Structure 1
Amino acid sequence: MHKLIKEGTVRTGLTQGIEYNGWTIISKKAHICNSTEMDNLQKDLGIPPPEMVFGNNIVTLSKGNQTILSFNARDALAQVEHNDKNIKVAYAAEWARNSTRSDVKDVVKPYDWTYSTTYKGTGDGFEEAEEPGVDVARLQQQEPILFYDEVILYEDELADNGTTLISIRLRVMPSCFLILHRMFLRVDNVLFRINDTRIYHEFGSPYVVREYTSREDRFQTVFNNLPAAKSDVSLLGDPNWVGSKLPPPKTFTRERFVL
């Protein structure tokens, strides 16, 4: 038997989750960060935060009394590239060349202004592993969904020249669970990038699997895959559609946490 958790409201802070087979998976969603919280983030991280940060949103994965992994905006932003040498983001110059907006052309920022992150969650104890990995075949089987939720950590419109979105999807079935942490980046006329972290566990198995992939391609290459009429450009903002058009990962890692 499983127990569903639901406390509070979106306005006051909503906690949802499930207790099942000794596991507790929790998502907490609250209001967007206010000006004071944004100022504190900037002081803490050393870079201006994205336009919309849900700093009080968090996902936690626990086994018994042990927290295996958690996800939050602050730790994701801490992995945005920046340092004291003011190294520019690799795509900033190309972005500026392709932009028609003077305010973008004139901006030089000493950090990755796309807010790209290689964040894979907060937690220790994962070690490199070869097999087994995420059982895609099992995930494609028809099973009841005991719990599902989606949480946003942060989002930015990149000065109206694209978007960065960090989101988490949780799905718990009778036989297993999957957590997908996704960074979706679209920089108009430059590139698409998707960094995915999948956390997978089959109930009863002695480990939790974590797989990380990074895929990207030029904007025009993906754009050319739109339907012939090129009328439904909204597809360019759909991470699932864009993901189906990207090439195989340029980066892939597999780890596991032994229980």
Structure 2
Amino acid sequence: MEKFIDKVVVITGGNSGIGYATAKEFKRQGATVFITGKRADALAKASMELGVRGILADQSDLQQIAGLVKEVEEAAEKVDVLFINAGVAFFAPIGDTSEKQFDAMTDVNFKGSFFTLQKFLPRLNDGASVIFLTSGNTALAMENSAVYSAGKSAVAHLARIAAKELARRKIRVNAVSPGPTETEMQGKFGMDEATLAGMKAHIISHVPLAKMGTPDDVAKMVVYLSDQTVSSFITGAEFFVDGGMAL
């Protein structure tokens, strides 16, 4: 069912994983979709496969965010759905985390999310939907995740404040917090295959539904929160798509 005909959707970090799956679902439902990425080859490939417009942009760079907004404005003027999805992850004990690693995660995950919303505010239609991708870690105190978890928790709190500030424009703001999900990002943790497999097995042992999630699981929640016909009274909420891990 094409519920999003004549709707404009912007998805940051849309060239892989959750962003890719969400772009695919919005496109299937008739939306005009823009995705971003900071790897030109991956972005071009995803854009071609999905039949959407790709815009090269690094969410940690405010000038590139401004450039993204300008490109979207020139092509579509107003935005109906903004899915702030781009993020990076690194896991290490507090004592082993460098300033460079701290800044890399914070610049993308929190600063980038904040300023992406800020720069898009004039372009959002009244009644638009904004969704932040946070993490199931916002409800956990998992070792070796201090910077990542704190940054995602900051984004979740940002979503609640934005929901209040933007309510006068009938703009709804929510957060979606995935649990363990099979995405390309897991291959970037710097672990060998055996270590990664062991980590996955350990994580699954803490999930009541005893499995990993998929990008499609998260995409469906994002699309639901963007559909005014079913979620018009939902704002300032955080939805855990985690198989019960946060319980």
TM-score by length of 1: 0.27
- Higher relative contact order (CA closer than 8 Å, sequence separation 6+): 2
Point out the structure with the larger strand share.
1
